[in-house]
Amino acid sequence: MNKPVYLDANASEPVRDSVISEMVKALHITGNPSSVHAMGRRCYHMIEDAREVVADHFGGDVQNCIFTSGGTEADILAIHGQKQDRPLWVGATEHPAISQIDYPKTILPVTQQGIVDLGFLEQSLQQAETPPLVCLMLANSETGVLHPIQEAAELCHHYGALLHVDAVQAAGRIKIDLSELGADSLAISAHKMGGPKGIGALLLASGNIRGAKRLDPLFVGGGQEQGRRGGTQALPMIVGMAEAVRASYIQDRTAIIKMRDAIEAAAKKHGAVVCGEGAKRLDNTSCLAFEGKSAQQQLMALDMAGFCVSTGSACSSGKVAKSPVLIAMGLQHLAGYSIRVSLPWNNNEQETEQFIEAYCRMVAS
């Protein structure tokens, strides 16, 4: 192979050609979207057109779609803006943007398949003195496991709680409708859909008593984003995000499912365990655990063979440690032996076959 095969889409998808094209066009446009003259108005209208695309694809309201610097900021803004005096409850397998936020937290356990324990959630809500702000990710970045968000939202609202959903890994890969999910807020990020890094959005449900009427901002400034997020908007990034949303949702993902299944079948034949296999998962994600070799050994061997995979969240980059996600799932014995293979939107069958050969050689050696 002349260049490494990239199989780390859950860290960041390759940027789509159509996204680059739209961003280049926007880079040639001069003007501040807050200016009232003709060039400023042109920028403003391009941003609002992009906002409409994003809101429409995710079942949100245009006026409640707030552009941010990415998924992490969207998560933190959702918590900062809606928590107020509510206690904070977070799933045991959440992204570090939420799990490491500096607030006291109640941890919601997950099953061995990595799914939030709805029975525990309901019992806790029944006993709660103050309705909490609950944070659950739609799809886990390491295993691809999908949480039952609709059921969780129904429980939360029955007991007066709010539900924020980190949909960063799921956006662009499965259909997401904020109104159907029933969540109060939703975080997404462009670079997980084949868009640019550094741009994301927070969508607020129209019925969200906190979000639809007001949202305490992290950044004050010139009143941008209806006063919810100060700072001059990054026009090229926003335009790129809108194009990534469009492109990702017209892509046929049948081939990706076939390639993921082929990788998992081959890995299991050689003794690997697919973590979360029994749950509903993203079509591109495999968490493969092989007790014979440490995660670091596997990562290095595959890297030397020309394949880019990971051991978990890219936001813990530089760290090859036991997976907290697998530990939360009760799979402590596998937590130091797992890698994540996440297929990008442009992966092909030849690359998949080459990876299978390399993986099988690696575990057999």
d(CA 197, CA 187): 15
3-class SS of residue 94 = coil
Task: Please classify residue 174 by burial: count the beta carbons closer than 10 Å to its beta carbon, then call 0-12 exposed, 13-18 middle and 19+ buried.
Answer: middle
Which helix (H) or strand (E) is 5 found in, with range? strand 5-6
Quote the Cα angle for 288-289-295, to 5°. Answer: 105
Closest CA to 340 of 277, 297, 270, 286: 286
Contact indicator for 153, 228 with CB cutoff of 8 Å: no
In angstroms, the CA 47 to CA 33 distance is 8
User: Other C-beta atoms within 10 Å of 356: how many?
Assistant: 18
β 273-274/285-289 pair status: antiparallel
Annotated active-site residue in 156, 308, 315, 360: 315
State how far the alpha carbon of 58 is from the alpha carbons of 54, 133, 161, 190, 201, in Å: 6, 21, 22, 13, 11
Determine which helix (DSSP H) or strand (DSSP E) holds 163, and give its type and residue range: strand 162-166
Would residue 275 show up in a list of annotated catalytic residues for this protein?
no
10 Å Cβ neighbour count for 125? 18
Catalytic residues: 315
